[in-house]
A and B are shown apart, each in its own frame.
Chain A
Amino acid sequence: MKNYLHRYIVWRKYNFNIAVRKAKRRKICYIFLAPYALLFILFYILPVIISIFYSFSYYNILEPPRYIGLRNYISLILQDDVFLTGVKNTFLIAIITGPLGYIASFIFAWLLNELPRWLRSIAVVVFYAPSIAGNVYVIFSIFFRGDAYGYVNAFLMDLGIIDAPILWLVNPDYMLPICMLVILWMSLGTGFLSFVAGLQGIDKTLYEAGCVDGVKNRWQELWYITLPNMKPMLMFGAVMSITQAFGVCEVTMALCGFPSTDYAARTIVTHLFDYGYARFEMGYASAIATLLFLIMILCNKAIQSLLRRVGT
């Protein structure tokens, strides 16, 4: 046993020495990477560590943080009803808009790929525009205004479907569906672009070869040829849409207000903002952030292992 341990240490030392020698020869690489690495560590790695660290403490900025163990997590899960509403809403939105947006991104990219080139480049702009247009989604609050002059209300009343205006953005029954609609409208984002590009990059001769080998229609072509060739893009798109789906907050804040009626449109991130920026309970907010971090990473890992099986 001791012998093995000794050998292991020698082996590690040897590897380490090689690494050091390599590093010395490639000094310039570290100089090139240094600016990015410094900023990245300062604004992405360090915050995660700080957030995990503060999540075990009571910290309100004025007093120094006080260690309180797991109490933040316990009160989050057992006592904070609003947080549980937020978790429920976030998961509801993520589970509905995440996969739908992802699948829609792929389907539209795939359909656009059938178009002639000039038409395709126009269509890509049309589909991608809502996601880069910034705050244009506030226009939905005009469509869904609660009085009889709100366009959706007026339209439905003209058709005779409803006889009194509905308070779309104040009534808890309608808030989430409307937010989901808006999020779906904006969901053809980075992943969609990646899919469009990936589809163009697939070797055309593969399809001809598939035709010879007995692929009969476009659906078989999709499953046996297109999807396996798109795997890296599918992974990238999944990462993008999961991150977006769980980070939902801007749309609900802009449309339903902050805080929303009865907390019906509260999400994990708005809860985080509430405790972080309004009540300055940084320890509690850090616990929320840490939970959100874990949810996002775990979900990403799960989806990636699922996607590895596509087309096989």
Chain B
Amino acid sequence: MKKKEVRARGYRKKIFKRRRPNRSRAGDFFIYLFLALVSAGMLFPLVFAVSSALKPLDELFKFPPRLFPQNPTLDNFFDLFVTMGKSWVPFGRYLLNTVTITVAGTAGHLIVASMGAYVLAKYDFPGGQTFFRLVTVALMFSGYVTAIPNYLIINRLGWVDTHWAIIVPAFAAPIGLFLMKQFMEGLPMSLIESAKIDGANEWKVFFRIVMPNVKPAWLTLIIFSVQNLWNNRAATFIYSEERKTLVYALQQLVNSGVARTGQAAAITVVVMMVPIIIFILSESQIIETMASSGLKE
């Protein structure tokens, strides 16, 4: 009896003395060093992209290159509107197209997928489990498999060369439903039942009780949907120049040669900043949602 007590105290002491059990100081040091090196490597291309967008034209072609611009300017960004503003399709139009597609697709996806996820997570009805299993199978193949039949279907619907061809299929992205359903399973059933006893119908429960309680999952759906739509080239569906997207414009600029290097760098920064900023603003909620992302059998 006495012996046991002593051992218990020894264990406790160890815990409080060091931050966590089973960690050596040397190991911690090397982890920090390693992470610092790798993250420098990961960041380098991104930093380079930002700095070349800020370089004036003469510095862009200086050799050997400098990582940071000596006289940073925002000229490249203004050029987007000035020189491309006079071209056949102004730059603002590409930006507007991409914003339209992203906002509409994301909003629709959020509503449609949450409605489906709610009943799949909270009610047991015939066919529900089977349907969810189909969705998890759909996670396993990428959109390229369905690219050609999708084109035929959209052609049949008469949506080729309209933004609908990008927006509507985005509503049904399987990852959104999957994450939303997994997150909603954590919602207590008593919350829904008490609202029903108070006389709310299913729609009211969904919009007033369920949706406000799954805000972290909203943000996760938004980031995945935005990331998908914002970077969508849409080259196979959209032919008219005035309906093309920002990423497509970027590609044309990159291909059009050296003279537009500065503007290409500026568009690259515009394209990459939006998803990253959204992610930074909603990081903690996204991590909270992803905690329930596991695939159980």
Contacts and interface: CB of A to CB of B under 8 A. Distances in A.
A135 interface: yes
B171 interface: yes
Contacts of B54: none
| Chain B interface, DSSP helix/strand/loop, else mixed | helix
Contacts of B48: 139
A201 interface: yes
B145 A23 contact: no
Nearest to B296: A232
A108 interface: yes
A22 B150 contact: no
A52 to B, nearest CB: 9
A64 B139 CA distance: 32
A297 B137 contact: yes
Contacts of B247: 134-135
Interface string A19-43: 1101100101110110111011011
A288 to B, nearest CB: 9
Given A44-B138, A50-B152, A276 B42 contact: no
A287 to B, nearest CB: 11
B69 to A, nearest CB: 15
Interface in B24-42: 24, 27-28, 31-32, 34-35, 38-39, 42
Contacts of A135: 231, 247, 250-251, 268, 271-272
A151 interface: yes
A132 interface: yes
Given A30-B125, A194-B293, A208 B284 contact: no
Contacts of A30: 125
A28 B42 CA distance: 48
Contacts of B22: 207, 210-211, 215-218, 220-221
A136 B286 CA distance: 23
Interface-centre pick from B137, B174, B251, B287 (highest chain A CB count, 10 A): B287
A149 B63 contact: yes
Contacts of B151: 276
B77 interface: no
A200 interface: yes
Interface in A227-266: 231-233, 235-236, 239-240, 242-244, 246-247, 249, 254
Given A111-B34, A125-B280, A293-B141, A197 B288 contact: yes
A190 B22 CA distance: 29
Contacts of B34: 111
Contacts of A216: 22
Interface-centre pick from A19, A36, A125 (highest chain B CB count, 10 A): A36
A121 B288 CA distance: 13
Nearest to B48: A139
Contacts of A292: 141, 144-145
User: Chain A: interface residue count, which band?
Assistant: 35 or more
A89 to B, nearest CB: 15
Contacts of A208: 15, 21
A129 B46 CA distance: 9
Interface residues of B, number: 98
Interface string A61-72: 000000000000
Nearest to A158: B64
A98 interface: no
B128 to A, nearest CB: 7
Given A29-B128, A194-B294, A154 B64 contact: yes
B125 A44 contact: no
A273 to B, nearest CB: 8
B192 to A, nearest CB: 12
Given A39-B171, A134-B275, A190-B224, A235 B294 contact: yes
B45 A243 contact: no
B39 A123 contact: yes
B290 A22 contact: no
Given A23-B125, A125-B283, A247 B142 contact: yes
Contacts of B251: 135, 138, 254
Nearest to B223: A132
Contacts of B113: 36
Interface-centre pick from A42, A129, A134 (highest chain B CB count, 10 A): A134
B175 interface: yes
B140 A297 contact: yes
A96 interface: no
A151 B295 CA distance: 43
B177 interface: yes
Query: Shortest 8 CB-CB distances between A and B: which pairs?
Result: A232-B294, A36-B116, A47-B149, A247-B142, A47-B146, A197-B290, A39-B172, A211-B21
26 contacts: A23-B125, A32-B118, A33-B116, A35-B115, A35-B171, A42-B172, A44-B146, A47-B146, A126-B42, A135-B231, A136-B271, A138-B251, A193-B286, A196-B290, A197-B290, A233-B294, A235-B295, A239-B136, A246-B142, A254-B251, A269-B144, A282-B148, A285-B148, A296-B140, A296-B141, A296-B145
Given A48-B149, A276-B148, 9 more contacts: A23-B125, A39-B171, A114-B23, A136-B49, A194-B290, A200-B287, A215-B21, A232-B295, A296-B141
